[in-house]
Structures are given as structure tokens and as C-alpha cells.
A and B are shown apart, each in its own frame.
Chain A
């Protein structure tokens, strides 16, 4: 079942007594979550992603716009009738109940015909527990569990009512680094096993990129871009998305396009056929630099950091407002650490141009790779 958001807008009354008017948390947001997919809703904190999640699960009512689960408009539906399972950032496990009681809790809320018998409830709870591998912990209380185990209990509690949609709010942020890696694979596995349409919210782009089938990037309540992680990374729609995705982050230069050539601080560095003449931001991914004696981009070498598999070159360039830029090279492309300067050629498919004012991507024709 697809989930479709249509022109979804949420405004809050402004906080504070003096400030009048409203703040817009989510602004005409439209996107579709395809059936059975794991989608990451990504953005910096305060970008409206949690508000979006709350609107989908029904805890917040949108100011305008619609939410569809499949064909059904659920905009006005209270949360319990939507069939959503939600995992909260701090898990919200009831501390006075055992794991089993926590998982049973949603089922015990059901009324009338929908209410299963005690036996059925137990079976379903056990099934959910088995799915997330916590069958041994059913009699414990939440505070006796590790963070990762609590996370699984929360997922089991969300899954036990067989929701149409699973929503996870920052599912990994309360875990330590090692557990985070393990848990994100766990989530991915559970999602694949159940095939349930899942949306999770995160501010960590690496997390989103690594497990999502699709990502949706938001900024200040506005949709920036959506698509498969690799596609968004390779083809960012604007400077924000380009900067937000990727570690180490993309290098941004102040540049200008003149007669089909990208010019950085007077150096003509890359032919960009088809791009109109104007002032631009030029973004180059760290892996977009190729050291070459006759490279067009000459930088001042600051230091070389050997990272094992890769080498990270930190240098300075006058067109780079951040001061330093970082290139990631394979070890074989050795750069002489003692050298004062280093020259690079740029890979056109790793270089993106954005309008200086609107920060919107300016396409240019990437030439077919040269004969080598």
C-alpha cells in the first residue's frame, strides 16, 4: 500500500508572547512512499521531519493537504484507526510493565469484534517477539534491558497490531556507535522480512543512505529531493542536498561559467558544455579529484592524511570559501607530502554546478569518458 502526501502543510502559532503570526513547520509537502519500501526521511534538526511523521501517524492534524494510505484519505482519521505502528525516539516503553505486557498493550486496547481472545493476543505477541528475537526477555522490565533490546521491544510493540505502516522516529540516535551499525541492519532485515511499508526519520545522512530503499530530503519544511540514495547522491537537485549528503562533505567553490568553461579564481578548470554564463557554486565530491601534473586546478597542499584504505588530501584554494578542501584518493595515486602545491583534474560526473543565487542545479553535458 502506497502512502501519499499531498500538499501537506502544518503551521504552528509562533512561540513567545511578542512574536505574532505563525511558523510553518511543513510547507506543501508532497511525496509518495511506494508499497513495501523502507524510506528514510532525512534533514537537519528542525526541518519539519518529525512533524511530518506525527501527521502521518495522526498525532498532529495538518493545517492543509491530504494524506492517503493507498486510496483511502486518512487525513482526518484518529491515530488508532489508521493502523500505524510507531517507534519513538526514546522508545516510550512503559517502565512499570514487563516486555510481554508492553507488547500486549496495543492489543488490549482493541474493542468489540477487533479484539482478539487472550490466546490470540499471546500468540501474536510471541510472534512479534520472535520476529525481533526477544523471546528470552519477555518477563523483564524495560530498565533491565540494553538500549538495543529496548529498541527491539519497541519495534515488536509497534508490529504486534499488524500495522499498515511502520513509523520510526530517530530509531538509532539513542544507541552507541557499535550498536547503531548492528541495529540498522536489524531494522533493514525486519522490514524485508515483514514487507511492511516503513518510514523512518533521521538527521544522519549516512544512516539514511545505508539502509533506505529511498530517501526524502527536507529542509525548513520543504521537500528538497527524493529518490534512491545513490541516485540522489549522484544527481543532487540543489546545493543543500549536495552538501547534506556524503562524508566527507562535498567541496564548494565560488566560480563562474564563461563560454562553456568553469572558472575558479581565474583558473579554467573544466569544460561544462551547455551551461549558461553566470556566477555559480561549483561542488566537487572528494572523490572527484584526480591528481595530474598538468591538472587545471592548482591548490596549496596543507597536509596528507593516510586513512589506511584511502588517502585524504587537505589543501587550500582561493575560490574555496571554507578555506580548505578535501580530496579522497586511492593509495596508488600518491601525492608527495612534501610538495607545496598539488594539481588536480576534475571528474565531470563528480562535479556539480549550482546557481549562485537560487542554489539550483545547472546541468551540463558530461563528455563521454576519454579514450583511456
Chain B
């Protein structure tokens, strides 16, 4: 059976080729992983170097033998990083909480209640998804300024609440709940609000969790609106804080302290992501807004 031998060598060659391809794939993927991870590594590394050590390295060093936490101390004392974090937390939690309540009510009305003009209104809602925030921010800035709400939490929060996309996601999810449940609840004399609270929200909790997390991320990273509306450091969010630090804080050259601040700002989100990895990725792939 000479032909059989031929097949074997052929197969061995094919296997070698696919093994090579596999190795190349892993190599390529690893390179991109390094590109992604390196900035994170570098910021942690730099944040652990002392100011003196960092500035004496004309050639950057890839490790440090004497890690120090003084930069973190600096980040919280020399600049009001704690205040920025607290502001961002208040802003993110308040905005997200109000957004969830407002969107849930609206989505429930669209999904379950019957009223005239529902389809027309929903169509209008959908078309609002296409309004770019860059267009409306100008008037919002003027409005908030006229209302004398600059440098205040209401001024920060109010225009950030609405999100047509989340109303849409919630409505879709609410519509998955079988109609029979609603009718059964009505027969039992359950009020709409109670039905929403006791039945719809528990059933649709995965979607609510997803939009909550996505909104939290969005708030944590928001930069443009807070920058326009706050010029008092007491109301800065982390994004503006980091910009302020970059331009005026620490003295321009204290890179390790800056990196410590960057680490402090980045860690909460990364932890949130690692905890809710699947939820976040699923939510984003259903309708990412960044990018």
C-alpha cells in the first residue's frame, strides 16, 4: 500500500502547516494582548516608582525594586482626588438610579399599557436615538447656565439621565413577559405599579442589571458635559480631575503621582468589569455606544 504512505506524509504536512498557523495565531493574539495590557502595566509600575527614582531614569526601566505607595498618598493629599471620586460616585449613582426608574416607567407604558398614539410616540422615541449629543449639548449648556445650575449636581445630572436606547432595550425585554401573567394579575386585582414591581422587574432583572452597569460605566467616563458645566474643582468628576491634575496638579513633571491617580480612577471600573464580564459584553454587543 504505497498510496497509503503518501496520504500519511500528506497528512503530516497538513498537520504541520496547521500547527504553524496555530502558533502564528497565538503569537498575533498575544502581541495585541501586550499592546492592550502594556499601558495598564506601565501605569501601575510607574505609580509605584518614587518621584526621584522615576526622574533619574533617563532610560525607562521595566520593573522597580523599591515599590512605594507615596504616590498614592500624594494623589489623595496634594490634589482632591478623594473629592473627585466622591463626586463621580454621587453623579454616577444618582444619574443611573433616576435613569433606571424613569426608563422603566416609560418602557412599561410602551410594553404593556394601551393608549392612543402609542406607536407614533414610540417611533418618535426611536428616531430620537439618532440625535447626536454634540448637537444638543450647546443648548443644554445655555439652558443650565440660564437656570443658574452650573457647578451643581442637578446641573450635572439632569441632562445626563435620558437614554432612549435603554428605554428601547427595556421595552423589548418587558415584551418577552407573557401577556397571560398581566391578565392573571389583573384578574387578581393587582395594580399596574405593583405588577411592574412584583412581576416585571424581577423577571427582567438581567436586562435592568445590564443597563445599570452600562450607564454606570458611561457616567464614570463622561467628560464633555462635566467639563462644560463645572469650573469649580469642588464639583469636578474624575475625568475633569485627571485633566486638571495633568495641567496644574503635582507640578507638571510628577508623572508617578499622576499615574497613581490614573490607577485609582481605573480600578473601580476594571473591578466592575471583571465581576460582570458577561453581562457587560452582552449588553455592549447588543448596542454599543462608544466607538
Contact = CB atoms under 8 A, between A and B. Distances in A.
Interface of A: 72-74, 76-78, 81
A72 B14 contact: no
Interface stretch (B2-10, B41-49, B222-230): B2-10
The 7 closest A-B pairs by CB, nearest first: A76-B7, A77-B7, A76-B11, A73-B4, A76-B8, A73-B1, A78-B14
A74 to B, nearest CB: 8
Nearest to B4: A73
Contacts of A74: 7
Contacts of A81: 7
14 contacts: A72-B3, A73-B1, A73-B4, A74-B7, A76-B4, A76-B7, A76-B8, A76-B11, A77-B7, A77-B11, A78-B10, A78-B11, A78-B14, A81-B7
A260 to B, nearest CB: 54
A76 B10 CA distance: 9
Interface residues of B, number: 8
B18 to A, nearest CB: 11
The SS class assigned to the B binding surface is helix
Interface string B1-41: 10110011011001000000000000000000000000000
A4 to B, nearest CB: 15
A74 B3 CA distance: 10
Interface in B85-117: none
Contacts of A72: 3
A197 B3 CA distance: 23
Nearest to A72: B3
Contacts of B14: 78
Nearest to A61: B11
B82 to A, nearest CB: 43
Nearest to B8: A76
Nearest to A81: B7
A72 B5 CA distance: 12
B148 to A, nearest CB: 59
Nearest to A74: B7
Contacts of A76: 4, 7-8, 11
Contacts of B8: 76
A365 to B, nearest CB: 48
B260 to A, nearest CB: 40
A60 to B, nearest CB: 14
B14 to A, nearest CB: 7
A89 to B, nearest CB: 27
Contacts of B4: 73, 76
Contacts of B10: 78
Contacts of A77: 7, 11
Nearest to B1: A73
Contacts of A73: 1, 4
A74 B4 CA distance: 8
A97 to B, nearest CB: 26
A17 B4 CA distance: 38
Given A74-B7, A76-B7, A78-B10, 11 more contacts: A72-B3, A73-B1, A73-B4, A76-B4, A76-B8, A76-B11, A77-B7, A77-B11, A78-B11, A78-B14, A81-B7
Contacts of B11: 76-78
Interface string B220-261: 000000000000000000000000000000000000000000
Nearest to B12: A76
Contacts of B3: 72
A77 B4 CA distance: 9
A68 to B, nearest CB: 11
Most buried by A among B3, B7, B8, B11: B7
